[in-house]
Structure 1
Amino acid sequence: MEEYHKSLKQNASMGKAPTKTLATQATHFFAAVLAYTKLEVLKLKCGIGHFRLKAQLYTVGLKAMYQQLGQLRA
């Protein structure tokens, strides 16, 4: 259970909720739980942990961003 809360807070941005109203808080909570669920599915498919998955996803995203930035410069 502790691993669930830690991953939900750190990997699914549950601890960074910039929300003030009940509706936006509920939406953010739903999105965070959905993100956690998707990470859990990837964990089962790939056999690696949430933190490593998140790092790999960021790496892929950064590479795609730099590639697109290079195309815009050309």
Structure 2
Amino acid sequence: MQTTLDLYTDYLLSSFGQTTATGLSRLTDGAVGHDAVTDLLNRLQGDNRTLWQHVKPLIHQIQEPDGLLLTDDSIAHKPHSDENGLVTTHYDHTSGQYVRGINFVSLLYQTSQGQCPLSFEPVIKTQQCERKTRQVVWRSAS
């Protein structure tokens, strides 16, 4: 599993365009099947506590008194996906319009020696009924 994970991570980091499990399979001439990548991603468990355990040693290496904490919210566009709690309509301030996608908030620590992710939270929405219009809409709890 670790070899496939390392290979997939290197593939993600070195790619300049769209990345897919089938793309990695093609790149390796079928040595790594796209199903193997999908299965691997489905088995991975993680949350911000797990992320912190992995990055804490790196943070101590690059820590500086004037280090910065950078917060960003981003949208991974998913125009062809069905709406659910994760993939919903969000306002994209970069394009000035509503788009369908996955909205997430990330926290990054940056110094002159490097940068490291600290937190990653997807924005999950639930369906709620508007009182006045009786329309069902997707809303986040926060």
More helix by share: 1
Measured against the shorter chain, the TM-score band is under 0.3
Q: Give the greater-gyration-radius structure (CA).
A: 2
User: Normalized against structure 2, the TM-score is what?
Assistant: 0.17
User: Normalized against structure 1, the TM-score is what?
Assistant: 0.27
Higher relative contact order (CA 8 A, sep 6+): 1
